[in-house]
Chain A
Amino acid sequence: GNSVTQMEGPVTLSEEAFLTINCTYTATGYPSLFWYVQYPGEGLQLLLKATKADDKGSNKGFEATYRKETTSFHLEKGSVQVSDSAVYFCALSEANAGNNRKLIWGLGTSLAVNP
């Protein structure tokens, strides 16, 4: 079945460091790929998405490119801020019967950015 694997945390960085969080997936078809973020004490928020191969999703300085050849969707940011401290989840969805676009999730990666 479909699955998502993302790098384990916690990840600790200094402010302005470069961030990469790896995410790979297994899917039978052509999934859409997502990164969600969960800030402390808040609910899940969509950070960015990509719906087909070679698409690049971007938001708030974060980017991820849908790589079909490597089945990957790694999250990157060139210069992290303390306010980026959160848990990041990689997820995929495929169209299922009845237009069910349930999300399949990775375990989450906790990021702590120190000033």
Chain B
Amino acid sequence: GAGVSQTPSNKVTEKGKYVELRCDPISGHTALYWYRQSLGQGPEFLIYFQGTGAADDSGLPNDRFFAVRPEGSVSTLKIQRTERGDSAVYLCASSPLAGSNEQFFGPGTRLTVL
């Protein structure tokens, strides 16, 4: 079956612009996570959704970052007024159940802010 997909795979934008990154989780997975991976680092947690609600957004670095999951499936990570420091690979993962130990990762979106 289809895995987690993320679009676009690459996004280049200019400082100050707005971007949206999309995640399509595995069908039926209720839990969804966003992580950010900077060059040479391990991923860092951003936000967790259980169904439609953001159950934990403590990893979002500031109020320029926001994510939604309106129907409990597709999620969009939104970044306003992008800065060069936002450049990273943004990873999405889904789990079949809340509290499940296993997360399935998408290929990531590489964001470059010029």
Interface residues of A (CB under 8 A from B): 4, 32, 36, 42-46, 49, 51, 89, 91, 93, 95-108
- Shortest A44–chain B CB gap in Å is 4
Does B42 lie within 8 Å of A101, measured CB to CB?
A: no
Pairwise interchain contact A93-B101, C-beta atoms closer than 8 A: yes
Question: Which of A4, A99, A107 lies in contact with B41, CB distance below 8 A?
Answer: A107
List 20 extra interface pairs beyond A98-B56, A107-B41, A108-B41, CB under 8 A. Answer: A44-B93, A46-B104, A89-B43, A97-B55, A98-B50, A98-B55, A98-B98, A99-B50, A99-B98, A100-B50, A100-B55, A101-B95, A101-B101, A102-B33, A102-B48, A103-B33, A103-B35, A103-B45, A106-B42, A108-B40
Contact A89 B42 (CB under 8 A): yes
Tier of interface size on chain B = 20 to 34
Determine whether the beta carbon of A96 is less than 8 Å from that of B56. yes
Residue of A nearest to B99 (CB): A99
Q: Are A104 and B98 in contact (CB under 8 A)?
A: no
Chain B positions 89-114 with a Cβ under 8 Å from a chain A Cβ: 91, 93, 95, 98-108
User: What is the distance, in angstroms, from B106's C-beta to the closest C-beta of chain A?
Assistant: 6
**What is the distance, in angstroms, from A107's C-beta to the closest C-beta of chain B?**
5
